[in-house]
Structure 1
């Protein structure tokens, strides 16, 4: 996009929009010396600035005087994109009523819905979905609005997206699913929401790790507990480890405590180690002590029963 150099009046016009000064906007427009959609060197218009800063009255005035809601910056970001990012529901409604493209993407594929989900702005998310926003749009890396909401721990937004038809299995380029990313980040409420909606508990990332393995090795015991309710794979995974091995090797004792009673502690990983041996090799003394005590207790119980 080739943009002409801004005049002094253009700069004043942009500053008035940035500051939310409606009176000054009208004064400058009345001079006839500025164009309603004048752009700076990044392609930013007064409408985009007013929307980004949450100046509802300025947005209303600019639209009434003919500002184009379709104008975008050189990055592809529109006034609606910034209103959604800021959580400015009234401004988003004004722009949509004026004909703003609901799914207009930025250069990296992000839509207004995507950034509203990223920031956890549920009222804006609900509004965009109700007006037909594509809940399964994706970034260049294939991340969807559901993925980014899960990554950021916005369980209420995830629930809204699921109600709106979001694909629970849609994965990023590395095949990480929304559930997988929620597990990695330790968002147990998001994991609960996705699992209740039918997310596949063992959907693998490209490295062969399940959500359970990732939560276990990251030490997110609350996520592990949620996943265990859905009968996840506890045996060896394509990466040569089990979830218990992952927790043991990384010293995640809280996860070892949750997993050990349910898992086969005699299971050996690709290196031929049990979880106890893997913990010892990784110098995780607290995990070693716990697993040894558990084994000794089980041996005592078995002997008593005999």
Structure 2
């Protein structure tokens, strides 16, 4: 989602934007009271001084601009508003203040981004809480289908994940490519988020368009703590992806604990693309090879 730019147009507008960015209230008041600077002056991207002050977190400047008549819901060319920038940066005092003067949660950016999506993406719990209390749509989605829950799970923000789930977020709502919040949390290695999602009803075996599940991805990355959480919910162990099993993926990751966990949970070493057919040079971890050799059901390696 979008970031703030600080390009200016005229010398006086330049000074106003600088004051808003730096939190220089005295200079900002001087310029606004001169009558020579429009309170809604914009830079070349359509950003206003209010947006700049909201992004930078300068509450005094935000208050001054609003009291001088700044358009709270003015949109930049990208679609961002002052509320979006305050939420994105986690300035909850400004988010609350903007709501008091009529800020709307209805505006979105060109990629579908909303203030709630932005706050969730960066893990700003208080801002997310305030936005939800003021009518933000918990089912907002980016153009690719990512929800606030998806973005919070991707970032590993477990408190925000809990808040969103409690507020009605759908645990299994996928992105357009089939990626669920559980899958993305497993892919990045956020085991606590994985645990929370599973406890709230996330489908342990939900697969992306490419056929991979959260367990398969965690095995590929060697995230043993994520695998351990997933195994508590009895996921499918012997699924295949392009001929490779979950156990096969764990062996290739070189993570001994992941391999041990899967074997103890009942993963079949004799599945297609059998582990016993893997050449030894596929892994430098001799401990894994010794573990597999000692597995009764494995047979000869």
Same fold (TM over 0.5): yes
Is 1:114 aligned to residue 117 of structure 2? yes
CA distance in 1, matches of 2:202, 2:257: 25
The aligned residue for residue 16 of structure 2 is 13
CA distance in 1, matches of 2:267, 2:153: 30
Q: Any idea what the Cα deviations from partners look like across 1:119-175, whole Å, max 9, x if unmatched?
A: 111011111111121111111111111111111100110000001111111111211
CA distance in 2, matches of 1:185, 1:278: 27
CA distance in 1, matches of 2:267, 2:151: 34
The aligned residue for residue 304 of structure 1 is none
Structure 1 residue 279 displacement after superposition: 6.3
Are the equivalent residues in 1 in contact too, given 2:183–2:213 (CA < 8 A)?
A: yes
- Equivalent position to 1:32, from 30, 35, 40: 35
Structure 1 residue 103 displacement after superposition: 3.6
Secondary structure at the aligned position of 1:99 is classed as: coil
Secondary structure at the aligned position of 1:260 is classed as: helix
Are the equivalent residues in 2 in contact too, given 1:279–1:287 (CA < 8 A)?
A: no
Gaps of 5+ in 2: 1-7
Worse overlay, 212-221 or 232-241:
232-241
Structure 1 residue 28 displacement after superposition: 1.0
Normalising to structure 1: TM-score of the pair?
0.90
Gaps of 5+ in 1: 300-306
The aligned residue for residue 253 of structure 2 is 250
RMSD: 1.8
Are the equivalent residues in 2 in contact too, given 1:276–1:287 (CA < 8 A)?
A: no
- 1:115-130 to structure 2, matched below 5 A, reads 115-130=118-133
The aligned residue for residue 220 of structure 2 is 217
The aligned residue for residue 282 of structure 1 is 282
Are the equivalent residues in 2 in contact too, given 1:265–1:275 (CA < 8 A)?
A: no
- 1:229-240 to structure 2, matched below 5 A, reads 229-240=232-243
Change (3 A) 1:45 1:195: same
Are the equivalent residues in 1 in contact too, given 2:165–2:200 (CA < 8 A)?
A: yes
Structure 1 residue 287 displacement after superposition: 1.9
Q: Kindly tell me the number of residue pairs found equivalent between the two proteins.
A: 291
The aligned residue for residue 180 of structure 1 is 183
**Structure index of larger Rg:** 1
CA distance in 1, matches of 2:280, 2:184: 29
Structure 1 residue 238 displacement after superposition: 5.0
Worse overlay, 197-206 or 102-111:
102-111
- 1:1-306 to structure 2, matched below 5 A, reads 6-269=9-272, 273-278=273-278, 280=280, 282-284=282-284, 285-295=286-296
Structure 1 residue 265 displacement after superposition: 2.9
Change (3 A) 1:170 1:279: farther
